[in-house]
């Protein structure tokens, strides 16, 4: 049996529930769980490397949005919260704090604790019962943050792991499992550390090849985390029908393959 986890990143106070509904109704209807990396308290003026506002801030907009003022907790988006509560096929993951660049690449464990405490409180206020999986913005986590995350979460999901960023005492387990035994995922005590094979479902990829790439990634390992970003399907408020159709073809493929089981991160953390 192969296991697949769908991870959609950057759900935040600026996410219209209609976007998630359009993307994931076929998944929910087929009983395929969808894991959403939720930003607890998004900053509304964060810019991408291009210098423009991040796509998750503007995807809901018909026109280019102006920078917002400060932060917007997820609790501000009532229709989204209600929508998630009505659809138990969604599972929330804890995605950073305000989604500043490299915000968990921190030297200060106290600051990591503060960001995690505040984020957890907001997610709880939104009724998103304490996620056991953490997803770091931009895949950067410092040793101090890793130590704190291990106290609070059962699973850390990231693109890759950097030896020099890991706490020293974690490095032997990492080297043994990923370098010597060549496994993509490893664990440190009770914490599972899952990597993913890049964002295979992305508007930067070749649409013609995307489905095949997903199929071969799933075939190549026992557990695959498939990462995508809801806002990439709705740049500046315009739905990308071709891209959405590929996401729906992936749902068909996963559903129709008898040797593939689509699971939530909760199923990993509570096993």
Minimum Å distance from CB 13 to Zn ion? 14
Q: How far is the CB of 126 from Zn ion (least distance, A)?
A: 17
- Please identify which residue in 4, 5, 6, 9 interacts with Zn ion, judged by CB under 5 A: 9
For position 10 contacting Zn ion by CB under 5 A, the verdict is yes
Q: Among residues 42 and 143, whose Cβ is nearest to Zn ion?
A: 42
- Exactly one of 17, 33, 137, 184 binds Zn ion (CB under 5 A); that residue is 137
Query: Which lies closer to Zn ion via its Cβ, residue 73 or residue 137?
Result: 137
Which residue lies nearer to Zn ion by CB, 10 or 105? Answer: 10
Which range of residues in 77-85, 105-113, 134-142, 241-249 is near Zn ion by CB under 5 A?
134-142
Q: Mask of contacts with Zn ion, 85-124, x by CB under 5 A?
A: ----------------------------------------
* Span near Zn ion by CB under 5 A; candidates 25-33, 137-145, 200-208, 256-264: 137-145
Least distance in angstroms from the C-beta of 9 to Zn ion: 4
Nearer CB in complex with Zn ion: 37/75: 37
- Nearest CA to 24 out of 236, 266, 230 is that of 230
Q: Binders of Zn ion: how many residues, by CB under 5 A?
A: 3
Closest separation in Å from C-beta 138 to Zn ion = 7
Closer CB to Zn ion, residue 166 or residue 227?
Answer: 227
Tell me which stretch binds Zn ion (CB under 5 A): 14-22, 72-80, 129-137, 252-260.
129-137
Q: What is the 3-state secondary structure (H, E, C) of the chain?
A: CEEEEEEEEEECCCCCHHHHHHHHHHHHHCCCCEEEEECCEEECCCECCCCCECHHHHCCCCCCCCCCCCEEEHHHCHHHHHHHHHCCCEEEEEECCCCCCCCCCCCCHHHHHHHHHHHHHHHHHCCCCCCCEEECHHHCCCHHHHHHHHHHCCEEECCCCCHHHCCHHHHHHHHHHHHHCCCCCEEECCEEEECCCCCCCCCCCCHHHHHHHHHHHHHHCCEEEEEEEHHHHCHHHCCCHHHHHHHHHHHHHHHHCCCEEECCHHHHHCC
CB of 73 to Zn ion, least distance (A): 16
Tokens of 248: 């729906």
211: nearest Cα among 228, 194, 195: 228
Interface residues toward Zn ion, by CB under 5 A: 9-10, 137
């Amino acid at each position: 049996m192969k296991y697949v986890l769908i991870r959609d990143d950057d759900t935040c106070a600026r996410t219209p529930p209609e976007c998630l509904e359009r993307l994931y109704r076929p998944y929910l209807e087929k009983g395929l769980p969808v894991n959403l990396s939720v930003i607890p308290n998004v900053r509304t003026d964060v810019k991408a490397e291009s210098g423009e506002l991040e796509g998750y801030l503007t995807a809901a907009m018909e026109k280019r949005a102006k920078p917002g003022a400060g932060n917007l907790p997820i609790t501000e988006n009532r229709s989204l919260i209600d929508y998630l509560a009505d659809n138990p096929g969604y599972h929330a993951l804890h995605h950073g704090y305000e989604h500043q660049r490299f915000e968990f690449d921190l030297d200060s464990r106290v600051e990591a604790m503060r960001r995690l405490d505040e984020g957890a409180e907001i997610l709880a206020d939104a009724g998103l019962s304490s996620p056991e999986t953490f997803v770091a913005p931009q895949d950067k986590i410092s040793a101090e943050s890793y130590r704190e995350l291990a106290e609070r979460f059962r699973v850390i999901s990231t693109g890759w792991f950097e030896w020099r960023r890991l706490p020293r005492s974690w490095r032997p387990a990492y080297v043994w499992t990923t370098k010597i035994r060549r496994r993509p995922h490893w664990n440190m005590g009770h914490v599972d550390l899952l990597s993913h094979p890049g964002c295979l479902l992305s508007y930067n990829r070749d649409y013609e090849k995307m489905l095949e790439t997903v199929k071969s990634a799933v075939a190549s390992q026992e557990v695959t985390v498939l990462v995508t970003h809801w806002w990439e399907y709705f740049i500046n408020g315009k739905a990308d029908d071709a891209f959405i159709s590929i996401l729906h073809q992936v749902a068909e493929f996963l559903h129709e393959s008898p040797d593939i089981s689509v699971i939530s991160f909760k199923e990993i953390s509570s096993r």
